[in-house]
Each structure stands twice: as structure tokens, then as C-alpha cells.
Homo-oligomer: A and B are copies of this chain.
């Protein structure tokens, strides 16, 4: 597929944009800026930006207009990993095949780097000049990013996740946790690209929303499966960490076969949701497939 061939270009594009928006290490406070760059650059699958560019191809949006929003969602994701990895949270030493931020720097710097990265994401959406949308659409995008990141979104999902250690969740509770923890920001990645697009009908927007919800959940289920079946070198993080921590996961709650079936079913539903958008949605179909077959 064409989108697969363009993947390296998009990934390079993401690195370039992130590098441009991140404060340079030469400027004070240098250690903080170094930690922010360490946490964001050089690694990461960039799934959220890729979903955004795939949505952009589907809707005919030039990629340059999505660079800022793509950087913003990736920076929110990167900051969340820095805080999640802290000793008081998941206490992880390895991330993207390297020491976690608090291991490479120190805990206090990691906390502040996460804090400053979160602000940076909002700053990018606020001031990015290449994002050529009306101020009202921009404010709607900022609201979306806030909802996806806050206590009813990602941060809330992480809180539920921490409280769930050693608990027996049922499938409904597990899905609610992951809708917040991972799903909200993945959904925002698609919907931010679809905001302020003149030609997009409400039906088209709803189709993308449904697609993004299905893909968001499929992503997390596949992550849970990789935690069991992957290996540490390929994953770039400790394999088996969820199990070691006694966290409820889709394989542990549903059984491995049912978890795999569910991921495939969600992928099928995601592809199905795209039907109103026609052939131009091929990049999003490819991304959905990629998300449930990736090895890290």
C-alpha cells in the first residue's frame, strides 16, 4: 500500500517537527530542556501522529497543516510515559530501548520535564501558524486535547489503572479504563485532523469518530497481547511487566484467544466504519491493520 511506503517520510517529518518545537538544550534551564528532548526524541512508534497524517490523506489535508497537532499529541503521549514510568507509578527502568527519563536524569527532573512537556503541547496548538484554521476551530482543538488528556481522559485512565492493580475487573471496567488511558488520545489524534475541515460532512466526522474509538481499543488490546507474547528487545520495554505487576489486562480477563478475537473484531469494525469515506480512507484502513499486527 502507498501509505506503508510513505511511513518513513512521515516518521522523519514527525522527528523534524518535534525537534523544531522542543526547546534547545543550549538554552537554560539546560538540564530540564535536555530531559524534555530525551523523553520525546529518538524512539517511539509515532502511532498517534501517523494516525493524524493518515486522516489527513483521507480528507485531502496537506501534511504541513497537521505537523503542529501531530507534535502536540505525541508530546502529550511522551510526557505521560515519563510520569507513568516514575518509581511512585509503574517504576519502569526501560523505555524505547533506553533508560527511562528518571533513570537517565533524576526523578525531580523527570517530573518537571513531564509538566513542561504537557504545557508545550497546548502551546503548540495555540500558536502554530501553519495550522490554518479559524480561531474558533483552533479553540475547539484545544478543548479536544484538554478533554483527551485530563481527569476524564488519559490522566483519569492512569489513575484507574493504578487503582486496578491486583483487582478483578470485568470486561466493561477494563474497556472503560483503556478508553480513558489510551483511547482518548488516539481518538483525539484522528478528530483533531478532522476539525475545521470545510468539506467534511457530519456523517464523515462520525465515521472517523467511530473508527478512532475502535482503533483506540484495538491498540490497547494488542499492547496487552504483546506484553505476554513479545520480547523485551523488540518491545523496547520490559516484557511481562503488566503480569509481574498483577495488572488486569485483556488476556488476563478474557483469556488470550478471546483477546485476539476481540482485537480482530475491533479492527474489522474500524474498517467497516470507514465505508462512508470511500477509497480515500485506505491509509486509515492500513493503520488499523498495522495497529493489530505490529510487533512493538
Q: Is A95 an interface residue (CB 8 A)?
A: no
For A155, list chain B residues within 8 Å (CB). 32, 112, 115-116, 119
For A33, list chain B residues within 8 Å (CB). 151
Q: Is A158 an interface residue (CB 8 A)?
A: yes
Known A83-B111, A108-B89; contact A147-B123, beta-carbon cutoff 8 A: yes
Most buried by B among A83, A108, A123, A149: A108
Q: List 16 A-B contacts (CB under 8 A).
A: A23-B151, A23-B152, A29-B160, A31-B163, A86-B108, A88-B106, A109-B162, A112-B159, A115-B155, A118-B118, A119-B150, A122-B146, A123-B147, A123-B150, A127-B143, A135-B136
A135 to B142, CA, bound (A): 12
Q: Is A93 an interface residue (CB 8 A)?
A: no
- Interface positions of A from 110 to 160, Cβ below 8 Å from B: 111-112, 114-116, 118-120, 122-123, 126-127, 134-136, 138-139, 142-143, 146-147, 149-152, 155-156, 158-160
A146 to B159, CA, bound (A): 25
A110 to B278, CA, bound (A): 46
A162 to B160, CA, bound (A): 31
Considering only CB atoms, which chain B residue lies closest to A149 in the complex?
B119
A120 to B145, CA, bound (A): 11
Q: Is A36 an interface residue (CB 8 A)?
A: yes
For A23, list chain B residues within 8 Å (CB). 151-152
Q: Is A289 an interface residue (CB 8 A)?
A: no
Known A83-B111, A112-B155; contact A119-B118, beta-carbon cutoff 8 A: yes
A156 to B36, CA, bound (A): 11
- Other than the known A23-B151, A108-B162, A126-B139, what 6 A-B pairs have Cβ atoms closer than 8 Å? A32-B159, A33-B151, A88-B111, A112-B158, A116-B151, A119-B155
Q: Which of B107, B119, B126, B151 contacts A36 (CB 8 A)?
A: B151
Most buried by B among A36, A126, A151: A151
For A109, list chain B residues within 8 Å (CB). 159, 162
A143 to B123, CA, bound (A): 6
For A31, list chain B residues within 8 Å (CB). 159, 163
Considering only CB atoms, which chain B residue lies closest to A110 in the complex?
B88
Closest beta carbon of chain B to A149's beta carbon, Å: 5
Q: Which of B36, B114, B115, B156 contacts A32 (CB 8 A)?
A: B156
Closest beta carbon of chain B to A101's beta carbon, Å: 12
Q: Is A28 an interface residue (CB 8 A)?
A: yes
Residue contact A116 to B156, C-beta cutoff 8 Å: yes
For A162, list chain B residues within 8 Å (CB). 108-109, 112
Residue contact A116 to B28, C-beta cutoff 8 Å: no
